[in-house]
Amino acid sequence: MVFFVLLSFFQKKVRDFPEISSRGYENTQNHPIDNYLLKNYHKSCTFIKKPPFLHPMNIEEYLHNQKALVDRQLEELLPQEDAYPPKIHQAMRYSLFCGGKRIRPILCLAACEAVGGDLKSALPAACALELVHTYSLVHDDLPAMDNDDMRRGKPTSHKVYGEAIAVLAGDALLTSVFYVLSHHSRQAGVDPEIILQVIEEVSQAAGTMGMIGGQVVDLESENQAIELPQLEYIHTHKTGALIRCAVVSGAILGGASADQMKNIRSYGEIIGLAFQIVDDILDIRGEEVKLGKNIGSDLAQKKATYPAQLGLTESMNRARGLLKAALSELQTLDSNADPLREIARFVVNRNF
């Protein structure tokens, strides 16, 4: 009996204990970009050589089941392909249902459950976040932006439907977000005041102070030598803002306390940065079949990435350090937050 008690204690320490290292950030503190993550979380990252201890929860099964739940709901939310005018609805559905991990909606659902909330109340918001994400991909792939031919293993929207319809499909997906958040959340019994809070979070995360702002700086940084704080800004806004929004929205819908909200928001900010760092790495060493998109596109377009700045090894160390920091933010939450813990591990240790 004593053995199992000690084993449980040891596992918890290995999983959650935040070690500290500030190596590599001596020259960033006075940079004009006031980045919250840069100032607060890199100092608490441990640059480890091995993946952290894995909790026995079956994360693959969890992600599969939650993805299926989200996909069923998305199927009901969007107009059918034959709804008039059919081409726009076909284009919307083509991009939405051509694959994807559904990490953002799953994070939303997991955050709701982590604070003791009802999954059903968060499902419309979770789907709305996937609509935002998909719209951003459709527009990112356009010739005027990243000019990508493949997405999730299939030709991109503009390659199938033409640039004009692809632009409109992205517009339609984004516009649908606010109908889903307002109408379908209300149908799920969510208090209107709570719905407004979620709409505020989503609109901020998707706008110029979030995702769009990051996209603009990303475009302006192509073929430019930029410093780490500016790269940090791109990653925490272009990608990280919507990931943070996912967990914050779920926590709002789950009735999180002020302390829980603070921890979950911080978790979202940290794991959002880690997600994009790993994406940068996979663009170099990932497998095209698993990723479903062309490998090396960042390098070809001379985009600002972590491997370009720091190299592959140090980039992975940074991601793993951020994982430790993210897990430390969840220490005060009980086992209901285990999915958030395991999703963080999945984000950093994935190969697609």
Domain residue extents for the chain: 32-44+57-349
Amino acid 297: pLDDT: 62
pLDDT tens sequence for the chain (352 residues): 444 443 444 344 334 433 323 223 223 333 333 343 444 434 333 332 333 334 468 999 999 999 999 999 999 999 999 999 999 999 999 999 998 999 999 999 999 999 999 999 999 999 999 999 999 999 999 999 989 999 988 999 999 999 999 999 999 999 999 999 999 999 999 999 999 999 999 999 999 999 999 999 999 998 888 999 999 999 999 999 999 999 999 999 999 999 999 999 999 999 999 999 999 999 888 665 444 555 556 655 577 899 999 999 999 999 999 999 999 999 999 999 999 999 999 999 998 7
Which of these, 300, 245, 229, 8, lies nearest to 103 by C-alpha position?
Answer: 245
Identify the residue whose tokens are 């979202």: 268
Amino acid 193: pLDDT: 98
Amino acid 51: pLDDT: 35
Identify the residue whose tokens are 């603009």: 216
In three-state secondary structure terms, 136 is helix
Class of domain 32-44+57-349: mainly alpha
Q: What would you measure as the largest C-alpha separation in the chain, in angstroms?
A: 68
For residue 79, with 0-12 CB atoms within 10 Å meaning exposed, 13-18 middle and 19 or more buried, which class applies? middle
Does the pTM exceed 0.85?
A: no
Amino acid 296: pLDDT: 57
Amino acid 47: pLDDT: 31
Identify the residue whose tokens are 């109340």: 121
Half-sphere exposure of residue 18: CA atoms within 13 angstroms, side-chain side: 16
Distance CA 136, CA 243 (A): 13
User: What is the C-alpha radius of gyration for the chain, rounded to an integer number of angstroms?
Assistant: 20
The CA distances from residue 241 to 57, 131, 160, 270, 294, in Å, are: 27, 15, 29, 10, 24
